[in-house]
Amino acid sequence: MPENKIYAVGLGPGSKDLMAPKALEILRSCNVIAGYKYYLEQFPDLFAGKTIISSGMTGEIQRCREALEAARSGKRVAVISSGDAGIYGMAGLLMELAEKDFPEIEVETVPGITAASAVGALLGAPLMNDFATISLSDLMTPEKVIIKRLEGVAEADLVCVLYNPASKKRRTLIRTAVDIYRRAVGEETVAGIVTDACRPDQQVMTCTLKDFPFDEIGMKTLVVLGNSRTVLRNGKMYTLRGYDDKYGI
């Protein structure tokens, strides 16, 4: 009996010890794995001997369709995303495609540690209070909408996590984002910049918005813009939640 299910699995940020035990168990049990090849290459032992559906970054729709076809034919299939599968990952796309063309297949999302959690931990604790995440990729969301959201979160003094901050060609929105924060929150606001979190080439940096290192930002970078309560003390970037004001510590 086919299971009529497909799994959208988040791999976590990159190291195996940060992959959720349930994700690991599901991936081990699947005989077909679909995903972007860079993510597959991160865990060669785990995927050895399995049928792989892979293609470059732009082949997402095709790859998910092929994965759904495989599930329909009775295979046990996982579609992988980095981090959490439901945060800028493949889970939603699978659900859209299933609803349209594969109504008999249920999509189950298996969560993972998203880049914001992993990067937050490496920097200290910048997400201690309210925060927002915004993707700067204008592939799916118009630039105008992204800027409006940035202005809204800066105005609300939220800590802001920027996913997809820049690529080789797409380098202007990160400047816009930092400018918006400089104006709304101030030049001395602390920012954290982490590339390849929990992977062999990991790089962790902190700065103020005045000295923001735009050239260091790439596709594998996550940027955390602090708010008016974010500090850098003893090498840790963290956001004051107000304990000292309220209780005196």
**Contacts with ligand SAH, residue ranges (CB under 6 A):** 13-14, 81-84, 87-89, 114-115, 119, 163-165, 194-199, 219-222
Any bridge partners for residue 132, and if so which?
A: 160
At its nearest, how many Å lie between ligand SAH and the CB of residue 178? 15
DSSP labels for 192-248? EEEESTTSTT-EEEEEEGGG--GGG--TTEEEEE--TTEEEETTEEEE--SHHHHH-
At its nearest, how many Å lie between ligand SAH and the CB of residue 17? 13
Q: Please report the beta strands in the chain, taking only residues with DSSP state E, as ranges in sequence order.
A: 5-10, 32-36, 51-55, 77-81, 106-110, 124-125, 131-135, 159-163, 190-195, 203-208, 221-225, 230-233, 236-239
At its nearest, how many Å lie between ligand SAH and the CB of residue 16? 13
Q: Which is nearer to ligand SAH, 63 or 220 (CB)?
A: 220
Q: Which is nearer to ligand SAH, 205 or 240 (CB)?
A: 205
Q: How many helices (H) and strands (E) does the chain have?
A: 9, 13
Q: Which is nearer to ligand SAH, 145 or 186 (CB)?
A: 145
At its nearest, how many Å lie between ligand SAH and the CB of residue 136? 9
- Tokens coding 248: 């005196």
Q: Which is nearer to ligand SAH, 214 or 243 (CB)?
A: 214
At its nearest, how many Å lie between ligand SAH and the CB of residue 173? 12
Residue whose CB is nearest to ligand SAH in the complex, by number: 83
At its nearest, how many Å lie between ligand SAH and the CB of residue 249? 32
Residues 6+ apart with CB under 8 A from 173: 136, 138, 143, 146, 147, 165, 166
Cα Rg for the chain, rounded, in angstroms?
20
Q: Which is nearer to ligand SAH, 103 or 200 (CB)?
A: 200
Q: Which is nearer to ligand SAH, 129 or 203 (CB)?
A: 203
- Tokens coding 41: 């290459």
Type of residue at 186? G
Q: Rounded to whole angstroms, how far apart are CA atoms 123 and 135?
A: 20
